[in-house]
Structure 1
């Protein structure tokens, strides 16, 4: 069985009010708050700021890009060091939280960020304390021990992974997701579904994770359409934030859909959309290799007799307003053979129930492109 590791979690409407106490638990007195311009503009960051004591002077870096990059990490690190900070508070979606995991490592480790991508053995327990405050319901990065960091905004992501980069505390407050627009709600929600689906199907043995994955899958299928239809539906927002967190607590690894999404991640497009477009052909290809788990997935999705999860996810994508294929999403494939080789070589295949061949990846890519 894999390492089962869950952080401290504060979860409910109004949970952001626990932030000062959680910082005190970590004995942090000069945290760096990291966020992005979108959350500043829509007022979500102001809600987080208001949870801190009146008159408190905060160190803030608010320029994390849409996809996490080395440059964004290094710019935030400059502020961390200039302000002599002693902890990091990530306020945002997966890009912000993943960036903050890299910041927490580099605040205490020598060298450059790129030296730690794919090198888990180089990361020691001596990292800056990190509190994650998710503002989307998708990546689950607030409870995971991995992060994706892109060398540049137009390159594929590298993996930063270690048990030591799991946030010390996750503060999950569904109030912070109420202003998320419908299309982003849909894309991040399907990202959460992809984590739970590939976690359930992964070959790693973890019965605890399987049970969590089933619950997360059912929650997304029941509640995501409601959250997209009415962003002010507080019950739907609560369930989606729970599903997002659960999906990353599965702790079994992912699979070929994430391998493909990482390959397509070189043009700045949203990861959640990329991975949900990859799921249908990947799931169809698993019938001969993970038939019993595919049936368990169908049950978790509450599908009727004869309905396949791959087809059902394609229908969900369409109903939620997501693009039908990568071509209509604006992705331009440069080299089919190179893309297939990159997906085939991905670390995500290590936990997949079946490792597709390069030719099988070529076939799937051709379908996903449209």
Structure 2
């Protein structure tokens, strides 16, 4: 795609974005804030909800206090717990059918990014029952009010509790695509750090690096506002200061709460400023090999940032200064390199690999096409890459 066309498209979208109806979720925050949710639903006159989660969370019993509170408050509920990582069209259609047959009035997304994506897909179908998910792929295709949507994140990474995105996987074609519309932003979000205390270490690490990817890609892109830059900066600083502590000491509630805040801020930043090639590549790895999104982002991030070269020296130098890993005499290039190296060191300390071994050489051409078409012309990346560039990156990530 012609770079001039891409930049013109991005400028036009950025201009239009100023006038879109952005929603800020009403937050319930702090320890045991989950217990406040039934009362919130009652005040909103919501009497019957669909809860979207996955089997792992259902078996852990994390939802039990919520289910007890709903029962005590006389609020009916039905649980859809078949969500898989990188939720599929089938997941969303099953949950949507349950939503309709149970005559639900609202949706609770309980879990990490996958239940959130699934729940948002259900909300999109409820808003546009005559449209398929594929017909809502891309930008601003929902455009109608969704049912009340409540996000209860149990990880600190996706930021889905404040984003406009539902990511859907087609299990037949292995395509992974996004439905983007401000109406998909949750109306309410519960930020209870107690829900993240029991996370396995590898989930803590990879979801935390997912949040860092959101903050970094938003910051280095060309559609920043002063506000998105501030959100990205604060999120980056919080992640550098708290992620390893949350990983090493999962019971540190302060670190857990700080990571939840970082995830939320990074989510707000990339919702307005968008992401880039890291995400475009990661989506193909999720679609083809079911690689968890946070893991894919963590592995890909240093490769792509390094490949951008001079285009990211200044913004990454600014982020590096925030994290206290630079010297005052360092050039922007040196600061940038220190920042990328710090990401590699964080990955290594948390046992995140440097490459993705499941990539098959014969799949690379199709993945290149899909990543290229996802990113261009929409993503306001610091440097527009061509298909040969993307092929080189896949080979580096596979090596």
TM-score range, shorter chain: over 0.9
Report the secondary structure of 2:273's partner residue. coil
Contact 2:49–2:108, Cα closer than 8 Å, also in 1? yes
Report the secondary structure of 1:132's partner residue. strand
Choose from 272, 279, 287 the match for 2:309: 287
Contact 1:154–1:267, Cα closer than 8 Å, also in 2? no
Contact 1:101–1:165, Cα closer than 8 Å, also in 2? yes
Cα separation, 2, equivalents of 1:142 and 1:353:
27
The aligned residue for residue 44 of structure 2 is 26
Contact 2:240–2:323, Cα closer than 8 Å, also in 1? yes
- Which whole-Å deviations, capped at 9, do the CAs of 1:89-118 have from their partners, x for residues lacking one? 111111101111110121232132222112
Cα separation, 1, equivalents of 2:40 and 2:361:
46
Report the secondary structure of 1:171's partner residue. strand
Cα separation, 1, equivalents of 2:139 and 2:277:
21
The answer as to 2:348 corresponding to 1:318 is yes
Taking structure 2 as the reference length, the TM-score comes to 0.87
Contact 2:38–2:73, Cα closer than 8 Å, also in 1? no
Report the secondary structure of 2:170's partner residue. coil
The answer as to 2:276 corresponding to 1:255 is yes
- Which whole-Å deviations, capped at 9, do the CAs of 1:56-99 have from their partners, x for residues lacking one? 44211111112211111111111111111111011111110111
Cα separation, 2, equivalents of 1:363 and 1:96:
33
Report the secondary structure of 2:103's partner residue. coil
Cα separation, 2, equivalents of 1:216 and 1:50:
34
5 Å matches for 1:1-370?
2-3=17-18, 5-54=23-72, 56=74, 57-109=76-128, 110-118=130-138, 120-121=140-141, 123-152=142-171, 155-250=174-269, 251-265=272-286, 266-305=288-327, 306=334, 307-327=337-357, 330-347=358-375, 350-370=379-399
Contact 1:256–1:343, Cα closer than 8 Å, also in 2? yes
Contact 1:136–1:185, Cα closer than 8 Å, also in 2? yes
Cα separation, 1, equivalents of 2:173 and 2:294:
17
Contact 2:53–2:80, Cα closer than 8 Å, also in 1? yes
- Which whole-Å deviations, capped at 9, do the CAs of 1:232-253 have from their partners, x for residues lacking one? 1111111111111110111210
- Which whole-Å deviations, capped at 9, do the CAs of 1:7-61 have from their partners, x for residues lacking one? 2122211111221232234321111111110101111121322332427442111
Cα separation, 1, equivalents of 2:69 and 2:384:
47
Decide which structure has greater helix share.
Answer: 2
Contact 2:298–2:352, Cα closer than 8 Å, also in 1? no
Structure 2, unmatched stretches of 5+, are: 1-13, 328-333
Number of residue pairs matched?
367
- Which whole-Å deviations, capped at 9, do the CAs of 1:103-154 have from their partners, x for residues lacking one? 0121232132222112523x13332111111111010001001111112287
Relative to 1, partners in 2 of residues 1:153 and 1:13: Cα closer, same or farther, differing over 3 Å?
Answer: farther
Contact 1:185–1:228, Cα closer than 8 Å, also in 2? yes
- Which whole-Å deviations, capped at 9, do the CAs of 1:156-186 have from their partners, x for residues lacking one? 3111110111001111111111111001110
Cα separation, 2, equivalents of 1:257 and 1:176:
28
